[in-house]
Chains A and B, each alone.
Chain A
């Protein structure tokens, strides 16, 4: 038997796909009636965001609110349901004060974070032994930290989510390995919904994508045992979001 090169396998699969697609399939919802011959284009976008077309589906999805105040209210409500500890504070100084208070209550001995204006100021304020993940680290050193403190790209009012990435939020593991994940953000990072979140993320990174972008919604959870909710399955048991 001749060993086949990967190119051959690719060509074989693509050839099978092209052959299969020579017969058109009925459009969704037609129950096999009204055959539509020839290839039909994707549904036309009718909404726009900052001059760019937006998928028609945005209008059907759960709403995210229309004013910054509504966004904040929705984010807070979603956080409460998700058991995210969401704190909207007056100033960075107050955020640091709250952070110190949490650190004392939970008895943080080792803190893990990454370099950025927000996290640098916070780690100075915390004044505890700190592991910075930028430029590489030993996984065991991160595993023993009680908390991972990161920034985020955006916060999503519609879902109570936040977006971290592997380049500017300290890597892939910082936001998921320590048992407590603390996110520091400014109020203007809060966006309406997922559509806007993906647009913003593309504006920030579209020229040079980080290798990982994660939409985080609440602390780690599972319902695998009798559908009973348990927090902290493998990732953080606690998620704290501090914004000002």
Chain B
């Protein structure tokens, strides 16, 4: 078992027994479900909208070379510098170089899962730069020195009391139970940062090929401020974020907001097409777009699971997943958790170390049903199981299946097996789950069905 798998099991074992955590997550997600269903019902046809989005993303991903070229030539024409980075370390070094060249001290950052993916903050802090997360949830988890719990709701696992204690300890604020007051503490702490920072780093939700623009979705206005006041702006963009046309946003913005947070559209959806243009009164004088591959092309090379690159990171599959709801976001130990994380992490970080995530699923299909771009998530989990076994079939399993096939194909042997099973049944029942049980790791948490007193064949014979 890989280290990651061991950690997953241990963390899952602890957190599933934590009823307070479970209660917190269930309450938060119930609120989400109510809001999401209400907004879904405002669509003329939700399922056709999903199909349309899936087709648009299919077009974008299956012509990615064309659209990326169009996007970069358009965005460069207006004074933006584009950096192509095949790996995480290259992206990190590129960003470090830009910040050094800008002679920056303070960096303000808005939410970017791609930055989590390449561990950007750690690298920049090691270089001696102050990096401040400006999204409220990200700010909270940064103060706690932990990764975001959820790709959309980073501080979902914390109560107001825990946040109040944190702010009291780290920021010297007075304790409060009001979410509004807590938000204002963060607002005051960050206001000066936007003005002082030399560099602003953002993520991106969509890249529009037709017009050469990046679209950033947020509710708080922190990304808008990050992109407005510092003199250098850096946007870290996964290559799969492409959409062909500007008007595609008319579909994707409501879809993202509805599936992700139960909103009609998110508070601020902002398009950036360049650094400050002639005649404009503010905005960065330099804008760098860092295009990140980081093994996305490996996923692209698997036609069976290529649609996982359609993901718009709305978090809907996490919210409905019975596994996520019980084990929580941190148990996964990955940047992207929940069903989509379980599908893509083996591609991004290696199948053998992360194959256990394919089993962190009940295969109920709720994720596939929830996905606004119709990624076939639960089938991809099955495919990853198949691929993992195909890569390194374990000899013990191979032997067991071969023996099973032999017995099943030999009726006399099968019948003999039944007799034996019936005889040892009382002993088995007594041993089940005890340290003497040879398959204890399986039976500890599961019941085996009792062996029937007579087989179907015997029953049939007696009945005549």
Contacts and interface: CB of A to CB of B under 8 A. Distances in A.
B168 interface: no
Interface string A178-209: 00000000000000011101110010000001
Interface stretch (B62-70, B320-328, B390-398, B413-421): B62-70
Given A225-B155, A232-B187, A172 B264 contact: no
Contacts of A197: 250
A14 B254 contact: no
A11 to B, nearest CB: 9
A130 interface: no
A40 B63 CA distance: 9
A78 interface: yes
A154 to B, nearest CB: 13
Given A21-B65, A198-B246, A235 B225 contact: yes
A212 B374 contact: no
Instruction: Specify the main secondary structure of chain A where it touches its partner.
Output: loop
Contacts, number: 326
Interface of B: 24, 27-28, 31-32, 42-46, 48-49, 51-59, 61-65, 68-69, 72, 78, 83-86, 90, 134-137, 140, 153-156, 158-160, 163, 179-180, 182-184, 186-187, 190-191, 194-195, 211, 213, 219-222, 224-225, 227-229, 239, 244-251, 253-254, 261, 264-277, 279-283, 291, 293, 297, 300-301, 303-304, 306-307, 310, 373-374, 376, 379
Contacts of B72: 10
Interface stretch (A90-98, A103-111, A119-127, A160-168): A160-168
Contacts of A31: 376, 379
Most buried by B among A60, A171, A236: A60
Most buried by B among A24, A167, A212, A214: A212
A12 B274 CA distance: 25
Contacts of A78: 264
Interface string A12-35: 111011111101111111011000
Nearest to B40: A62
Given A13-B86, A31-B379, A60-B52, A167 B159 contact: no
Contact of B44 (A21, A59, A199): A59
Interface of A: 6, 9-10, 12-14, 16-21, 23-29, 31-32, 39-43, 54-63, 78, 114, 133-137, 139-140, 143, 158-161, 166-167, 170-174, 176-177, 193-195, 197-199, 202, 209-228, 230, 232-236
B220 A222 contact: yes
Nearest to B293: A13
Contacts of A27: 55, 58
Contact of A20 (B264, B271, B277, B301): B301
27 contacts: A6-B83, A9-B84, A16-B297, A17-B65, A17-B297, A26-B304, A28-B310, A28-B373, A31-B379, A32-B379, A39-B63, A42-B55, A55-B52, A55-B250, A58-B250, A139-B195, A158-B264, A159-B254, A159-B265, A171-B228, A171-B280, A173-B229, A195-B247, A209-B273, A222-B219, A227-B156, A230-B183
Nearest to A156: B265
Given A220-B219, A234-B222, 16 more contacts: A17-B297, A20-B306, A26-B304, A28-B373, A140-B195, A161-B265, A171-B281, A197-B250, A198-B247, A209-B274, A211-B274, A213-B271, A217-B264, A225-B182, A234-B134, A234-B191
Contacts of A55: 52, 56, 245, 247-248, 250-251
